[in-house]
């Protein structure tokens, strides 16, 4: 997505060879117009898939799931990282290992909100190591729902997430694919035309 790539170049800050700060428009302060366009783009890419639900993980996936599900006309669900006191019903859960924080945490979704009839699109802000996204695919599998694919806003293609998920047969659509980056600049896999 051309506008997204331009915005990453303009307002993103490369903190190291592996960490991109996009706080100014994507995951702290949020640009609502850009967010809605991202949702429309995911809806367009997966238009033929008869999606019934969008699934993400708190916190930075939520606004993209909202935009995508709004464009598709279906609900979205976000996996919780901590078990809420009101979450008394049964849940599907999966462990996620965070490489950045070197800890494992549980993500969970109430069994009420995923069923074998669901055709699910996963949406998230980053595709990096893939740990969180693989946890979400596990939850979909446990629910016997159908995973249609993954929409990632930014993919760091030099990390192993895409490879791991493609090995599992998952369709991935990323709107900006970063081949490499350094404080001197960001190289995308391809220049977008749309």
The whole-angstrom separation of Cα 185 and Cα 11 is: 12
Residue numbers belonging to the annotated binding site for 5-phospho-alpha-D-ribose 1-diphosphate? 128-132
Q: Rule CB under 6 A: which of 84-123 touch ligand G4P?
A: 98-100
Pick the piece of the chain touching ligand G4P (CB under 6 A) from 46-54, 110-118, 127-135, 165-173.
127-135
Question: Which residue intervals of 29-98 are DSSP H helices?
Answer: 32-45, 62-72
Pick the piece of the chain touching ligand G4P (CB under 6 A) from 39-47, 57-65, 140-148, 162-170.
57-65
Q: Rule CB under 5 A: which of 27-86 touch Na ion?
A: 60
Closest chain position to Na ion (CB): 60
Query: For ligand G4P, what does the binding mask look like between residues 150 and 189, x meaning CB under 6 A?
Result: ------x----x----------------------------
Task: Name the nearest CA neighbour of 6 among 30, 22, 29, 27.
Answer: 22
Mark residue 64 as left, alpha or beta (left: phi above 0; alpha: psi -120 to 50; beta: remaining): alpha
> To the nearest whole angstrom, how small is the minimum distance from the Cβ of residue 52 to ligand G4P?
24
Which strands sit side by side in the sheet containing 76-79, from one edge to the other? 76-79, 53-57, 119-127, 146-156, 172-182, 185-188
> To the nearest whole angstrom, how small is the minimum distance from the Cβ of residue 24 to ligand G4P?
11
Partners of residue 93 on adjacent β-strands: 108
Instruction: Count CB-CB contacts under 10 A for residue 18.
Output: 15
Applying CB under 5 A, which residues contact Na ion?
60, 125
Interface residues with ligand G4P (CB under 6 A)?
19-22, 27, 57, 59-61, 98-100, 125-126, 128-133, 156, 161
């Amino acid at each position: 997505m051309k506008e997204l790539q331009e915005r990453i170049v303009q307002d993103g800050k490369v903190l190291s060879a592996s960490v991109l700060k996009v706080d100014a428009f994507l995951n702290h302060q949020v640009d609502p117009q850009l967010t809605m366009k991202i949702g429309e783009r995911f809806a367009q890419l997966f238009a033929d898939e008869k999606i019934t639900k969008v699934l993400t993980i708190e916190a930075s996936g939520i606004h993209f799931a909202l935009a995508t599900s709004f464009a598709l006309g279906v609900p979205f669900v976000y996996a919780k990282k901590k078990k809420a006191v009101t979450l008394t019903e049964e849940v599907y859960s999966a462990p996620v290992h965070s490489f950045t924080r070197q800890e494992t945490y549980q993500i969970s979704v109430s069994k009420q909100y995923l069923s074998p009839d669901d055709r699910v699109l996963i949406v998230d802000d980053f595709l990096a190591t893939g740990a969180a996204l693989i946890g979400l695919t596990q939850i979909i599998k446990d629910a016997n729902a159908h995973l249609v694919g993954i929409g990632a806003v930014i993919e760091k293609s030099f990390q192993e997430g895409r490879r791991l998920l493609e090995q599992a047969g998952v369709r991935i659509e990323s709107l900006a694919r970063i081949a490499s980056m350094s404080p001197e600049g960001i190289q995308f896999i391809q220049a977008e035309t749309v």
